[in-house]
Amino acid sequence: MICIECLGPVKSLYTVYSNKHIQLTDCPNCQNVVDKYVEIDNVILFIDLLLLKPGAYRHLVYNSLENTLSKYTERRSVEGSIANKARSLIFNLNSWRLRFDKLNRIWVLLIAFEVYLTWATEERKYSLYCERNGTNAGANTEDLIMAKLLSLNALQQYLYFAVYCIIDISLFHNITSYCIINWFHWGKNVKYAKDILSYAILLSYGAKIFPILMLIWPYDTVFSMNVIKWVANLYIIESLRIVTRLSYSSLLKLFLFVSVIRWTLVKPIMVLIIAKGDYHQIKAFCLSEFQLTLQKFMIKDNYFLL
C-alpha cells in the first residue's frame, strides 16, 4: 500500500470501526489522505483516468491491485516428482486465472477492439493507395501483402490481424516491462512490481482504442486517425511516468526503442505466416514492403503517415 500523493509506504488505507464506519488514513509523510479514491465512485475514477490524474492511476495499479492479489495464495515452486510438478503447475495456472481474471477480460476486450481498428485502418489505407496508384506516377509499387490478404475470406483476414495485434501488443508489453525493471532498475522495493507495470500498461493502452470513434463518426481520412494514434502513444508515456516516476527523456527513449523492435519484428513474422514459408513469396513480400516504406518518406500524403 502507498500514499497516492507522495508514494510513501503505508500499512493501511482506512480503518473500519465497530459501527462499520470507515475513516481514511492520513499519510505520516505528507499529511494528506492516503487514498481518497477508496470512497470515490467508479464513474468519477474512470473520468480521472481519462484525464490522467496521478492519484487515480496509483490507486488502481498500486493499492487496488495489491488488495486483490493479497487475497490469493502465492504460486508454488515447481519441483519434486513429475506428479508433484504437474499438481503445482495446475495450481499455479488456476491461481493465475483467478488472480488476474478481471485484467485478462480487459485485455481480451482491448485486443478485440485493436484487431477491428487495425483491420479497418489497413483496408482504408490500401483503398486510398489503390486510388492514388492510378494517378500518381511516383506511387507505382503494389502492396502485395494487403492484396494477398484481401483475396482471403473474412475469417482468415480476421485471424491474420488477430495474430498481428497479439504479437505486437505482447512485444510492447514484455519489452517495456523488462526494460523498466532491468535497465532503469525500477521496482526493487515495490511489491508486485511486474504486476503493477503490467496493469499500468493495460490501463494506458486503452487510449489506443480512441480512434474507433472515428469509424462511427468519420470526419477525415486516415491522417486524423494516425494523429490520434500518436496522441495515444503520448498518453502511454505519460501514464508510465505517473506510475514509475521515470523522466520523460528515459520513457521517450524506451518508447522509440520498443517501437523500432516492433516495426522490425512484427511484419516479418506476419510475412512468414502469410507466405507459409515459401521463399519466393517471402522475397516478393519483403521487397514490396521495403519499396512501400521508401515511398512513405518520399510521397507526402495523408495515407502514408504512420
What is the pTM assigned to this prediction? 0.82
* Cα separations in angstroms, 226 against 162, 167, 212, 300: 20, 20, 12, 14
- Each of the 306 residues of the chain gets a pLDDT tens digit; together they read 889 988 888 888 888 887 778 888 889 888 889 999 988 888 999 889 888 899 999 999 999 988 888 777 666 566 667 777 677 777 778 777 778 888 889 899 889 988 988 888 888 878 777 777 654 444 445 678 888 888 889 999 999 999 999 999 999 999 999 999 999 999 888 888 889 999 999 988 877 777 666 666 655 556 666 777 788 888 889 999 999 999 999 999 999 999 999 988 998 888 888 888 788 888 888 887 777 777 665 554 444 444
Place of cell 472515428: 214
The domain limits of the chain are 14-95, 101-304
User: How far is it, in rounded angstroms, from Cα 154 to Cα 86?
Assistant: 40
Distances (CA, A) of 205 to 27, 41, 107, 215, 239: 31, 22, 9, 19, 9
